[in-house]
Amino acid sequence: MKVFVEDDEHIFLFDTGAPMSTINDTTIIKEFSKREFGSLGSLQGADKSKKIAKKNFTVNLKTVLFESDNKIVTLLPMPKSKCSKSPIKGIIGLDCFFNQDYPLLLNFSDGKICNIDQAEMQSRLDVKGYREVKSQCRLNSIYVYLTLAGKEYKFTFDTGYSGQLILPSDSKIDWDIYNKMELEGSLFVSATSITSGLETYFEKVPVVMAGQKLSVKPVVSETVKSHLLGIQFIKGFDWIIDYNHNKVYAKRNHLKIDNTFNRKVSYYAKADQKLTVMVKDKKQTRYHLGDEIISVNGQKATPENNCDLQNLLNQTEDWSTLNLEVVPAPK
């Protein structure tokens, strides 16, 4: 979403999984070194692997939803790849919306995020087919309850998670009856770290929310320790969040929620100073995590071209169709 920071326009991520708003790029703050900072508490990502001390300061911040002359934000330099071209400079979190007078409408049918008054909310509830979702709105977080494969779980409503649903590996579901894809390596970026472990994707798992039955592609994770409901599920509904009354309403829209794998992943590569194997299917044995790829189809990998080679590798489903030279990772 477009955000004005100190009167300059930037792109921020609207992240309902973030209890606070952040600045991720200090270059957008004029005379940043002269700011006064406060510190209270710490931040932790969804993998719970690392805490960092909060570094808070105030900015003049304005969006289509609200504006503030002295909005408290937290400095959060996010982990990122050398090849990342993301324009996102910060995060708008739920601290901007709790204790406000107006419910929040997330209208993915029309691509709109806006505040509405109580009268409009009631009008939509009366004629638009919204249903109340079992939920909690507290401590700058939104939780919704879904029944997945016959078991009810509480999920954090997290537009910042790019997938559908993610569950920790201790979730007590009989996963053996579903088709799966097991990927090893670094697949997720949390607020404080890049994860590394086994992530298992499943197809066509039944889910029920507010009487709506459908099937989804959840991930069972060894690294993420939270239950997250992500944007690929969320955008299949239109939502009304009424914080003041601790209510959440949803209506199924026309947007598709995939329930099958779009592709089979064999490997993914990552380019920094070197081009390495970052992710692999558990069944694959030709290459291993951390192997350095020194050439692709006769083209030597260099710091100047390894982003292009990364893109080629990650767009190729079957690496056996490529001629790779690889230096094995140290044992």
Q: At 106, which helix (H) or strand (E)? A: strand 104-107
∠ CA 292-266-47, nearest 5°, is: 80
Residue 48 confidence (pLDDT): 56
Cα 48 from Cα 43, distance rounded (Å): 10
If phi > 0 it is left, if psi is from -120 to 50 it is alpha, else beta; for residue 141 that is beta
String of b and e for 131-158 (b: at least 16 CB within 10 Å)? Answer: eebebebeebbbbbbbebbeeebebbbb
Domain positions in the chain are 267-327
Burial-class residue 19 by CB neighbours within 10 Å (0-12, 13-18, 19+): middle
Chain-wide mean pLDDT for the chain? 89
Integer Cα distance of 42 and 115 in angstroms = 30
Please write the tens of the pLDDT for every residue from 267-319. 999 998 899 999 999 999 999 999 999 999 999 999 999 999 999 999 999 99
Cα 201 to Cα 164, 165, 237: the distances in Å are 11, 10, 22
What are 48-71's pLDDT values in tens digits? 555 667 788 889 989 888 888 888
Who wins on pLDDT, 228 or 77? 228
With a pLDDT cut of 70, the percent of the chain lying above it is 93
How many whole angstroms from its chain centre is CA 53? 22
The Cα-based distances of 106 to 19, 226, 266, 289, 293 in angstroms read 18, 23, 36, 40, 43
Q: Kindly report the pTM of this predicted structure.
A: 0.88
Can you give the length of the chain in residues? Answer: 331
Other C-beta atoms within 10 Å of 162: how many?
11
Q: Does residue 100 register a pLDDT over 80?
A: no
Distance separating alpha carbons of residues 122 and 216, to the nearest angstrom: 30
Residue 235 tokens, joined: 């955008």
SS3 state at 293? strand
Which region among 35-44, 111-120, 193-202 has the lowest average model confidence (pLDDT)? 35-44
pLDDT of residue 44: 57
Closest to 235 in 3D by CA, of 148, 300, 162, 308: 162
Q: What percentage of the chain reaches a pLDDT higher than 90?
A: 56
